[in-house]
Amino acid sequence: MIVGSQKPIEEIWSMVKDFKKVLVFGCNTCVAICHAGGEKEAATIASLIRMRAGQEGKAMEVNHMGVMRHCEPEYFDPVIEEVKSYDLVLSTACGVGVNFLSDRTGTIPVYPGINTSFYGAVEAPGFFKELCAGCGDCIVHLTGGLCPIARCSKTLMNGPCGGTNHGKCEVSNEVDCVWYLIVERMKKLGTLEKLSEVLPPRNWSTSRDGGPRRVSVEHIREYEEQEAQKPETAGGKK
Amino acid sequence: MTPGQTKETGTYRPYGADIKETRPYSPCRAACPAHTDVQAYVGLIAQGRYTEAFEVITSVNPIASVCSMICHHPCEQSCRRCSVDEPLAVRHLKRFALEKSADYRRNKRRLVGKTKNKSIGIIGSGPSGLSAARDLSDLGYGVTIYERHPVLGGMLASAIPPYRLPREVLKEDIDDVISKGVEVRTNCEIGRDVKLEELTKKHDAVLIAIGLSQSRSLNIPGVEGPGVLLAIPFLEDVAFDRRPDLGNKVLVIGGGNVAMDVARSARRLGVRDVSMVCLESAEEMPAWKWEVDEAVEEGVRINHRWGPKEVRRQEGKVQGLEVVKVRSVFDANGRFNPSFDNDQTTLIEADTIIITIGQMSNLSFLKDSPVKIDVRGRLEWNPATQTSSSKNVFVAGEVVTGPGSAIAAVASGHRAALAIHLHLQGEAVEGALPLQEKEKISQMPPEVLEMISREPRLKIKHLAPEVRCDTMTHFEIGYDEEEALREAGRCRGCGGGAVVDTQKCMACLTCQRICPYGAPVVTSVSEIRPEYCQACGLCAPECPGQAISMVSYDVKEISETLPSVVGRVDPKRQEPVIVAFLCTHHVGVFGFDLPKNVRKVPVHCTSRIDILDLLKAFETGADGVAVVRCNDGTCKYRGIEKGVKARVKRGQEMLGMLGMEPGRLELLSAEAGRGGNPWAAVCDDFSGRVKQLGLRAVR
Ligand SMILES: Cc1cc2nc3c(=O)[nH]c(=O)nc-3n(C[C@H](O)[C@H](O)[C@H](O)COP(=O)(O)OP(=O)(O)OC[C@H]3O[C@@H](n4cnc5c(N)ncnc54)[C@H](O)[C@@H]3O)c2cc1C
Ligand code: SF4
Ligand code: SF4
Ligand code: SF4
């Protein structure tokens, strides 16, 4: 899932301070699970903004709300008119949600309430770890199921580097050397000898380097397009 | 809006919607024939909200004060606390709440407008008749009660002895009903003074609620003549203070609760030698164990497993009762079918014998009426519609259900009232009356039981036997406030716990991880198992989706009431404004004052305090906020401590982010029983520390 973390209140304040009516808009999926931007955190941030406004003696109406996801219109459509009645929407969704909503609120700005950090797992309650970089061309079947792109500080495809240090990365003692983990894992799987093959340079065009990416699931698109051509849909689509 | 003033609205899906009626009942509530929401009112008592408890109780029970004295409390018998130690003292708590609300209830009495232009005649003023009268008055019907006795109340007024039910208590309940504008015709026996026909002509519907007002007698030699009395006439004499002459020795035949009342009343009429004889062994006796124990304390002797054979008389005067040994009371199929050993007989001496072997209705007034009586002499009726065989004539209470309890008669009265209402409104009755059986939560699982501290039930005090036998005065001494709060705190709030809004839950596992009792199980969404949940409230403020509501309280209540609790903050104040959230579980939070600058917010457990509540206290102007709990050893909800500490710590970090001193928020601990006023002391110390940090600017 997508992991995020709350922005410092001072940064938030600098974004919102000139608006009169602010909606802190929570997203109840990924960022809720990591306690950064669900409805609860939206309520908390709203409270902090109100207190900050109080400190400055500013008149400000700050409310909160939450929907299941900001990244699919069906979830926020039912409340979009209410959302648009504010001067500013501070979305506590991940960057995807902020972007997506920004296109759909007319003249109302949508600002980010959290920092979107990475794709990660819940290693322990309240502790999240980046494990995938979304490169668009997954190769972890070659590396014991562990991703060198996301988890090696240098994104080495044929590691480890000389900085590996008893299982830790030279960048920080708190970072595991993923190449050490890959070797250990592949030993266990009995596939260590595969590592003797040198992995060729990668084509990064499937990653960010190819520009913004899209995925289109053809059979679903086809159905949707047929639906759109019908003059009026019986079953009440839209 | 003035500077700093803010408004907060709800969420897309409302948080904390009313869900109670969709949930399984607590066993106590399910066991009550009227489904009194025990869990709710005991919880309110524990929070010092007595008049709200009164409202919960009386919403379904028009004879609540009576029940607080004499109910056989099936709620207690089914209390889930039985498997921990002892059941909650529900009846005594009810009495406390009602006594605390005495003025409130009197001020509440109002005439109800007669909006329906239809009237109902009710025959009999026992629990069933009174309940129906109340419901129908509330619905706007004209109601007239016809009662053959000079006072209202049925058996409550005319049979239950005053040492168990003081008549001023009964009067409170009756006044509640009558004040709605119910017309009352006492000393009016239907059949004798007024014909049934007149009633059916005069009213749109008639309700027969005449109970079982005749005692059954025995068919044995010698039973006719002076010295042999029947229970109900005897108890009526006691009730109306006509003191019958009983001689020196009284023998009561029977082993039920009425027999206990007869025997104990005889003791109070000055008879020193009172004994009882019954077919059953001590274990088989139908009387409640506590009734038996109290009678024995008062010197009543019980002869078990003897059957009456003959009343012996000499020159007409009763000598005693010849009895024969009982072999067995029940047959192989468990049916009542006593068998005797005729070789074993004995004589129990007595001057007066009182027969207490059961009651029946007097249906003679129905002869030649369209209301049919079956071959066995019972009123014909349809339980699905509460109707008799005659159109517009309805039935309720023991006349049709047979002997039971006052609260069961109340439930029957409610059903009949609803049936009458539907019928008069031209709606179908069949199938519309609520089911008596309710879904309830099951017993506590062993792993939860282990986590609940043993806290024995707070025994109620009685007048000493030697004192109480000299008088008809009520012999139970009710709880004082401290006792009531302590006892109410034992309730585990069954069925009042957490419920997930599955449309908001994103299966984050937080509740499952934090719950000390293992109640939530998260699959595609969280499901909180009610038999595990203790209603501590720890999970609701933790849920990142605000998906958890609590059945027994409004999760937003604290934050919504804070502005009025804090009030206006004076810019020129000398002392800091402190908001103190106090755990009310360990008693005494109500009975004393805190320093004037401390605003008290009672909470049932600090686990229920949300980070938003803490922030809200500062938002509304507090200079400092204290969360005052008991300690890990005495906390009602073992295992919540870490959660509360973490929440307070987070609050402190947030203050830091706003440039405020984290020390303005503290988790403190205080407990009763160490002399003085521990809450005031910790709050005062805290207030001193906050003062050092300075007062916040008011803008
Ligand atoms: C001695 C005794 C002790 C009891 N103790 C308890 C207890 O501790 N706890 C408990 O829960 N229950 C107790 N009960 C049971 C309880 O009193 C009954 O369950 C309850 O009173 C039944 O209510 P009811 O409305 O059906 O009838 P009743 O209370 O019997 O009321 C019927 C009324 O109708 C009147 N009536 C009858 N015929 C006519 C007529 N023709 N015209 C006008 N009026 C008429 C009668 O006078 C009576 O007032 C006790 C009962 C007795 C007898
Ligand atoms: S503990 Fe409380 S809620 Fe649970 S059954 Fe007993 S009285 Fe009812
Ligand atoms: S904490 Fe809330 S969102 Fe998470 S699993 Fe429980 S109910 Fe669902
Ligand atoms: S944390 Fe408390 S309220 Fe929540 S499910 Fe567990 S026992 Fe129930």
Can you say whether residue B687 is alpha, beta or left, with left for phi > 0 and alpha for psi between -120 and 50 degrees?
alpha
B interface test, pick of A51, A71, A83 with most B CB neighbours within 10 Å: A51
Chain A interface, Cβ < 8 Å to B:
8-10, 28-29, 32-33, 35, 38-41, 43-44, 46-48, 50-55, 57-68, 78-79, 122, 125
Q: Using a 6 Å cutoff on CB, does residue B500 contact ligand 3?
A: yes
Closest CA to ligand 2's atom 5: B79
Letter for the amino acid at B282?
A
Q: Is residue B589's pLDDT more than 60?
A: no
Lookup result for tokens 């803010």: B6
A59/A62 Cα distance (integer angstroms) = 10
Q: Best substitution site from B65, B66, B122, B155 to test ligand 1's pocket, by max atoms within 8 Å of Cβ?
A: B155
Per-residue pLDDT, B630: 83
Per-residue pLDDT, A237: 46
Per-residue pLDDT, B217: 95
Q: What is the CA radius of gyration of chain B?
A: 30
Look up residue B192 and give its two tokens. 């004798």
Residues 614-633 of B with CB under 8 A from A: 615-616, 618-619
Q: Show residues of chain A in contact with B656, CB under 8 Å.
A: none
Q: Show residues of chain B in contact with A113, CB under 8 Å.
A: none
Ligand 1 atom closest to the CA of B128, numbered from 1:
25
| Comparison of pLDDT for B528 and A234, the residue scoring more | B528
Look up residue A91 and give its two tokens. 């979305």
Contact between A186 and A129 under an 8 Å Cβ cutoff? The reply is: no
Beta-bridge mates of residue B330: B336
Q: What is the pLDDT of residues B599-626, one digit of tens each?
A: 989 888 899 999 999 999 999 999 999 9
Q: What is the pLDDT of residues A141-174, one digit of tens each?
A: 999 999 999 999 999 999 899 999 999 999 999 9
Kindly report the number of other CB atoms within 10 A of residue B629's CB atom.
27
Question: Of B555, B635, B563, B573, which Cα lies nearest the Cα of B599?
Answer: B563
Look up residue B24 and give its two tokens. 């399984």
Residues with Cβ within 8 Å of residue B9, at least 6 apart in sequence: A63, A65
Q: What is the distance in angstroms between the Cα of A214 and the nearest Cα belonging to chain B?
A: 26
Closest CA to ligand 4's atom 8: B533
Domain boundaries for CATH 3.40.50.2300 within chain A: 2-118
Letter for the amino acid at B134?
R
Question: Of B85, B94, B88, B64, which Cα lies nearest the Cα of B76?
Answer: B88
Q: What is the pLDDT of residues B53-75, one digit of tens each?
A: 999 999 999 999 999 999 999 99
Under CATH, which architecture does the A2-118 domain have?
A: 3-Layer(aba) Sandwich (3.40)
Contact between B395 and B207 under an 8 Å Cβ cutoff? The reply is: yes
Q: Which of A119-128, B57-66, B274-283, B585-594 has the lowest mean pLDDT?
A: B585-594
Per-residue pLDDT, B674: 52
Residues with Cβ within 8 Å of residue B318, at least 6 apart in sequence: B222, B225, B226, B227, B228, B311, B312, B350, B351, B352, B353
Beta strands in B510-587 (DSSP E): 520-522, 526-528, 548-550, 578-583
Percent residues over pLDDT 70 in chain A = 97
B56/B40 Cα distance (integer angstroms) = 7
Q: What is the pLDDT of residues B151-172, one digit of tens each?
A: 999 999 999 999 999 999 999 9
Q: What is the mean pLDDT of residues B509-519?
A: 96
Question: Of B207, B246, B271, which Cα lies nearest the Cα of B352?
Answer: B246
CA of B359 to the centre of ligand 1 (A): 10
The conformation of residue B672, written as its DSSP 8-state character, comes to: S
The conformation of residue B15, written as its DSSP 8-state character, comes to: T
Whole-model pTM: value is: 0.89
Q: What is the pLDDT of residues B19-32, one digit of tens each?
A: 777 889 999 999 99
Give me chain B's average pLDDT, please.
92
Q: What is the mean pLDDT of residues B679-692?
A: 93
Q: What is the mean pLDDT of residues A214-235?
A: 79
Rounded to two decimals, the ipTM of the complex is 0.89
The SS3 call for residue B492 is: coil
H helix runs in B73-126, sequence order: 74-77, 90-100, 102-108
B543 in contact with chain A, both atoms CB, cutoff 8 A: yes
Q: Is residue B148's pLDDT more than 50?
A: yes
Confidence of residue B591 (pLDDT cuts 50, 70, 90): low
Contact between A134 and A215 under an 8 Å Cβ cutoff? The reply is: no
Contact between B599 and B580 under an 8 Å Cβ cutoff? The reply is: yes
